[in-house]
Structure 1
Amino acid sequence: MIAAKDLSAAELASLLHFHADAGVEWLLEDEAVDRFAEFAALEASRGARSQAPSVSTAASRPAASGPAERGARAPAAAARVPPAPTLAMPGEQAVAEARSVAAGAGSLDELRGSLEGFAGCNLKNSARTTVFASGNPAAGVMVIGPMPSADDDRDGTPFSGRAGQMLDRMLAAIGLSRDAILVTNAIPWRPPGDRQPYPIEIDICRPFIERQIELAAPRAVLALGNLTARLLFGGNETIHTMRGEWRELQLGGRQIPVMCSLHPQELLIAPVSKRLAWADLLAFAAKATSQDSAQ
């Protein structure tokens, strides 16, 4: 077994990055902790509180101080219960701060800087990079994915890796390229282990993607994946029930047409769904092109 002291600084950094990509969030403690004993002690303390006598009844009884009672209370007192994870700042305060920061950005460059300086979302603490939009903001066409993958987090670019290659092929099939349009993610930081963002984390990130859409002012948006569609329109529908229909997103006094469709990663896992995505892409291209001609 190789000890940490035998590794160089570069090797240690590479090892830490590997663990981060794998979703490791906690390091081993110096001493072993019996989590089963912690849980049993916590349950015992909860049961004792629920069965505790009233103040008046307790006051009429002599306080027990014998060794047996002290020993019975010892496990609950000694148990180390790990605290529940907390946000970088209280939830509602973080959402309000995100709205204020996003609204204050007058351009996409300013919004990028605001995101990189924002410290109100815990996702940023575990992510390697803040993944912002790439491509041409003036194109009038915007593609939005859900959240950064491990490849996105490493490269700092949305839709990297195999899913990005699939997206490139999807766009090329309708005469578009990622360099000619604006490509982004609804969540700018990769959640640890690629877990789904918590509702409060989505609420904190929502003002930033909404402001990004306002500033880019696209004539058509392609929203890919469950999380993206739900973040923009709410509800609990799946992407398979939301896809293929044009929806209107009201932002900044404008109605922006949005087509929801399947994420490239789903097409890699289930190629049979490509026919559905192809129908969505054709409808998206027809509307985007017609609006372009009208302007």
Structure 2
Amino acid sequence: MALSREDMLRELELLPMWQLRAPLPDAVTALAAGQSAGPVVAEPVVAEPGIEKDQTLVPAPQLDQTSIDQESVEHLVPVLTTVEDHALPDMSITLGEGRRDSIQRMDWQDLQTCVSACEACNLSGTRTQTVFGVGDPHADWLIVGEAPGAEEDRKGEPFVGQAGKLLDNMLAAIQLKRGDNVYIANVLKCRPPQNRDPHGEEVLQCDPFLKRQVELIQPKLILALGKFAAQSLLETDATIASLRGKLHRYQGVPVIVTYHPAYLLRNLPDKAKAWQDLCFAVRTMQDLQSAAASPTL
């Protein structure tokens, strides 16, 4: 059904097209009498508060006085844009379109802010707070666990419970300590309810955060703690037993796999195997540092 010009303009929210600051009695009188009063100049629309000065309001096109069909409506849509592209809010992270690319362009502060506000998966509705990571952002050693637990969720820092104490002891055994040339992070930045295993969608949404952390930190070596961290980083379903004692890579960075401290608290005999892994990590780091110090031929 054909729409009148007035109905069409109202539907497109283009009425009123112009706002006059003051009435023009002479012109109105002349028009009412059917006489020509010459061109009537209307003042441009004053931008509403919130619209920047350099944004131009586009006046509506001249429409047919009688009717307008659907094809004409579709043709008018591009004309309705009133702000430049750079002034529009970036919704890519919220909507998931280009989310990974957006995260990969962030600096450290922007990445922290993005993680703290992330609502990309259902864990945002059950967490107390996000757990970004802790330590030296330029560390040679990057320690990666799987996900925050109850204490981590409460304090906002990874590995702060009994497993954290054991991790600190493990680091001390190889002359390292938290925050000193060491950075600690998790695959997931939010705690799964009841400490359940992370779901695939949750890992998928958090993966860009960890990748960007690795790019910004530029560690020389990653120590993956536990089956879930190892499988997520290496994109494999292999067992810890088959992954231990080998040098893997994540984002081009060497990775060594060992047991999670929480597992070691329940399986004390495997602490000896974890010590072997730590010794392997130390030797690997020494080799990497020696190679970096050697002059290129």
Residue 205 of structure 2 is matched in structure 1 by 204
- Per-residue deviation, residues 228-283 of structure 1 (Å, max 9, x unmatched): 1111111211222212211022x2xxx21000110001110000000110000001
Q: Distance in 2 between matches of 1:136 and 1:224?
A: 18
Q: Distance in 2 between matches of 1:259 and 1:165?
A: 21
2:228 aligned with 1:270:
no
* Identical-residue share of aligned pairs (%): 35
Residue 257 of structure 2 is matched in structure 1 by 260
Query: What secondary structure, in the 3-state scheme, does the structure 1 residue paired with 2:253 have?
Result: strand
Q: Distance in 2 between matches of 1:285 and 1:111?
A: 30
Query: What secondary structure, in the 3-state scheme, does the structure 2 residue paired with 1:139 have?
Result: coil
- Bigger-Rg structure (1/2): 2
Residue 126 of structure 2 is matched in structure 1 by 126
Q: Distance in 2 between matches of 1:232 and 1:154?
A: 26
1:101: how far off? Answer: 3.6
More helix per residue: 1
Query: What secondary structure, in the 3-state scheme, does the structure 1 residue paired with 2:222 have?
Result: strand
The residue type paired with residue 134 of structure 2 is: S
- Per-residue deviation, residues 158-206 of structure 1 (Å, max 9, x unmatched): 1111000000000000010012110111100000111111111111111
Structure 1: gaps of 5 or more residues? 1-92
Structure 2: gaps of 5 or more residues? 1-93
Residues matched between the structures, number? 199
Q: Distance in 2 between matches of 1:213 and 1:271?
A: 31
The residue type paired with residue 161 of structure 2 is: G
Query: What secondary structure, in the 3-state scheme, does the structure 1 residue paired with 2:228 have?
Result: helix
Query: What secondary structure, in the 3-state scheme, does the structure 2 residue paired with 1:168 have?
Result: helix
Residue 174 of structure 2 is matched in structure 1 by 174
Q: Distance in 1 between matches of 2:273 and 2:197?
A: 24
Question: Do the aligned partners of 2:234 and 2:249 also contact (CA within 8 Å) in 1?
Answer: no
- Per-residue deviation, residues 95-133 of structure 1 (Å, max 9, x unmatched): 655413421312x22211111122211112101111011
| CA shift in 2, pair 1:192/1:101, >3 Å | farther
Q: Distance in 1 between matches of 2:288 and 2:125?
A: 41
Residue 110 of structure 2 is matched in structure 1 by 110
Question: Do the aligned partners of 2:140 and 2:220 also contact (CA within 8 Å) in 1?
Answer: yes
Residue 51 of structure 1 is matched in structure 2 by none
| CA shift in 2, pair 1:238/1:96, >3 Å | farther
Residue 150 of structure 2 is matched in structure 1 by 150
Q: Distance in 2 between matches of 1:291 and 1:100?
A: 30
Query: What secondary structure, in the 3-state scheme, does the structure 2 residue paired with 1:276 have?
Result: helix
Residue 60 of structure 2 is matched in structure 1 by none
TM-score by length of 2: 0.64
The one of the two structures with greater contact order (alpha-carbon pairs below 8 A, sep at least 6) is: 1
1:141: how far off? Answer: 1.0
2:280 aligned with 1:287:
no
Question: Do the aligned partners of 1:174 and 1:285 also contact (CA within 8 Å) in 2?
Answer: yes
TM-score by length of 1: 0.64
| CA shift in 2, pair 1:198/1:95, >3 Å | farther
| CA shift in 2, pair 1:150/1:94, >3 Å | farther
Question: Do the aligned partners of 1:174 and 1:281 also contact (CA within 8 Å) in 2?
Answer: yes
The residue type paired with residue 267 of structure 1 is: L
The residue type paired with residue 200 of structure 1 is: E
The residue type paired with residue 257 of structure 1 is: P
